[in-house]
Each structure stands twice: as C-alpha cells, then as structure tokens.
Amino acid sequence: MSETAFTIARTVRDVLIVFFALLAIVLTTFFTVNIYKDNVTNATTILAAVIPAIAAIGAAAFGIAYAAKASAEASQAREAKADAERTTQETKQDTLLLATYVPQLKSEIENISSSVQLLPSPAGKHSFLIPETDDDFRALQQSLREKREIKPINMQTLNSAKEQIAKIEALLERINRR
C-alpha cells in the first residue's frame, strides 16, 4: 500500500471513529430522553454515566491510533539515526584504512621513480629501464638471451598514480577536517 493510500485509510478510520462515537452519544441521548421523559432525574443519571463512557471509548480508540503512529515514527527516527551513526563509523574506519594505504603506495611509487634510470622512447611516451647494478645487467642479458619480452615502463601511468595519490591525500585531509 502506498504512503498516500495509507494516509487516506488512516484519515477515514479516524473520521469513522469520531462519527460512531458521536452517533452513539446522540442515539443514547435520544432514546434515554424518550424512555425517561417523565423522570428527568433517572434520564440525567443514565446519561451522566453512559455519555462519558462512550466518549472515553471513542477518545481511546482515536488516541491509540495516534499513539501507534507516533511510536512508529519515533522508531523510524531511531533506526535512521542508528543507520547514520553506523555509516559514519564505517566511513571513519574506511578512512583510517585508506590513510594507512596511502603512505605505502606513495613510498612504493617513489621507490620505483627513484630507482629507475630513464631513456626517452622514440614516441616520447615510454621510458626504458637501464640496469643500475651488475645483477640488473645480468638479468637483462638473460632476458635478452631467452628472448623474453621486456616491457617498457609507462611513465604516464606512473605520473597518473602520483596524481591519484595526491588526490586521495587531499580527500583524506578534507574528511579528517569534518
């Protein structure tokens, strides 16, 4: 049932409760006055006992409906607050976890950048690794003898990684300031 249909049904129910309570009061008054028209004291005594009882029943039925509605709204508000707190806590945990990864990534990228000697590629897009130590040179010779593919280091990717790390650091700073 949609929210609008539920609201309409609740309104109709409330109107019916009030209508039947008033109808009961009017009918009780009419019949009591007609039956006891000669004895006003008896009619007054009966009406004094019956009318407040009918009104109390109608008010209770009407009040229970609104108490249930208020309780449901309060429950939804508590759930929403708990969800928001849970989300905030999860975000803080993710931020802390991300903050631990950033220095590692930054360090690894810097290690790669600082340990690589570069020669420009013919297209100017890639750089090639030049061995720094004898071990690196022997490994390069072995690769060439085995005709293994030597892949170039893509400097655009390395520079893009540096930019992404800088963006993540800026985002973490903004989150931590909140």
- List the domain boundaries for the chain: 1-85
3-state SS, residue 29: helix
Contact 153, 126 (CB under 8 A): yes
Overall average pLDDT of the 44-66 stretch: 82
d(CA 161, CA 103): 13
Overall average pLDDT of the 125-144 stretch: 62
Least confident of 80-84, 97-101, 131-135: 131-135
Overall average pLDDT of the 22-27 stretch: 87
Q: Is pLDDT at 26 greater than 80 in this prediction? A: yes
Overall average pLDDT of the 89-107 stretch: 78
Dihedral sign for Cα 27, 30, 32, 35, please.
negative
pTM to 2 decimal places: 0.41
Confidence of residue 148 (pLDDT cuts 50, 70, 90): low
Confidence of residue 178 (pLDDT cuts 50, 70, 90): low
Confidence of residue 119 (pLDDT cuts 50, 70, 90): very low
3-state SS, residue 125: coil
Question: What pLDDT, on the 0 to 100 scale, is given for residue 110?
Answer: 73
Overall average pLDDT of the 132-138 stretch: 67
Q: Which of 12, 10, 18, 5 is nearest to 61 (CA)?
A: 18
Contact 176, 95 (CB under 8 A): yes
Overall average pLDDT of the 85-96 stretch: 82
Neighbours of 21 (CB within 10 A): 19
Question: What average pLDDT does the structure give for the chain?
Answer: 76
Q: Which residues, at least 6 apart from 5, have a Cβ–Cβ distance to it below 8 Å?
A: none
- Pick from 30-44, 56-70, 91-105 the range whose average pLDDT is largest: 30-44
